[in-house]
Amino acid sequence: MFNPLDFTGRRFLVTGASSGIGEATAVLLGRLGGQVVLAGRDLNRLNHAIAAVPGGGHSVSSFDLGDTDAIPGWVAKLAADGPFHGVAHCAGLQTLRPLKSAGAAFVEEMLRVNIGASLAMGRAIRQRNVAAKPASLVLISSTAGMTGQPGNVVYNATKGAIIAAVKGMALELVRDDIRVNAVAPALVRTPMSEKSMKIWSPEQLQAVLAIHPMGFGTAEDVANAIIFLLSDMARWITGTTVVVDGGYTAQ
């Protein structure tokens, strides 16, 4: 039976795979038959995450994606074991900080980790023998890149930059038979978001929930969209951002 989501024999790199959206994506890829390299900074957490990925042939790679200039070389080494049919770049940094407190060091770090690493991943995947033909690169934006949020301006800027960047990257990488897209989640319950929720009052939590018509999402909800963009079902889709927000931006 034909299954357009059968990833048997295909190899994928998932960054930020030790938790949240990255981990959920790695698990789903494994369920669909793909081989996954799970990447992140914390080797112990990666080893815990890989245990939940079905199938075999998976591996982990500990790497600090803040070292953007080293990303192409790192990815090339990983591809020595076989080219990647897709990359889901789920790693990122989210820190709430009012604009008045956003000094140069904070802004530089947010830009480097959130947009700089994304651009470097585009440089990495187009290297010789790194990507299978065809291949797909999926980045993580956010509805924060489409709407204003006081106290979150720098994060807003980095995620808006990804929405713009995938358009240009898609046009550059199409000659390499590589599609480039993004997903833009609203508030999703992950270890990262749970940290923010802990400091909210019950009233604040209810107010945020009220602006998500379908409630808060899960990491699996976003992983489903990533899997679609990695699959052949999206073979004629590039340069776009898929919003996964439970109706948040429909208001």
Residue 73 lies in a domain: yes
Residue 195 lies in a domain: no
**Among the ranges given (92-101, 228-237, 239-248), the one the predictor scored with the smallest mean pLDDT:** 92-101
Identify any residues that bridge with 189 across adjacent strands, giving them in sequence order.
218
Q: Judge whether 155 counts as a catalytic residue.
A: yes
Residue 56 in 3-state DSSP? coil
Beta-strand ranges (E) seen in the chain are 11-15, 35-40, 59-62, 84-89, 131-140, 178-185, 188-189, 217-218, 241-244
Identify any residues that bridge with 242 across adjacent strands, giving them in sequence order.
183
Residue 206 lies in a domain: no
Residue 81 lies in a domain: yes
Residue 14 scores a pLDDT above 80: yes
User: What is the model's pLDDT at position 209?
Assistant: 80
CATH code, domain carrying 24: 3.40.50.720
With a CB cutoff of 8 Å and minimum separation 6, the contacts of 178 are 125, 126, 131, 134, 135, 136, 137
Residue 6 lies in a domain: no
**Among the ranges given (115-124, 154-163, 185-194, 219-228), the one the predictor scored with the smallest mean pLDDT:** 185-194
Q: Which domain holds residue 108?
A: 11-188+219-244
Contact 119, 139 (CB under 8 A): no
Of 134, 119, 234, the residue nearest 174 (C-alpha): 134
pLDDT digit string (tens) for 231-241?
Answer: 999 999 999 99
Catalytic one of 7, 12, 63, 155: 155
pLDDT digit string (tens) for 125-139?
Answer: 999 999 999 999 999
If one counts the domains in the chain, the total is 1
Contact 57, 35 (CB under 8 A): yes
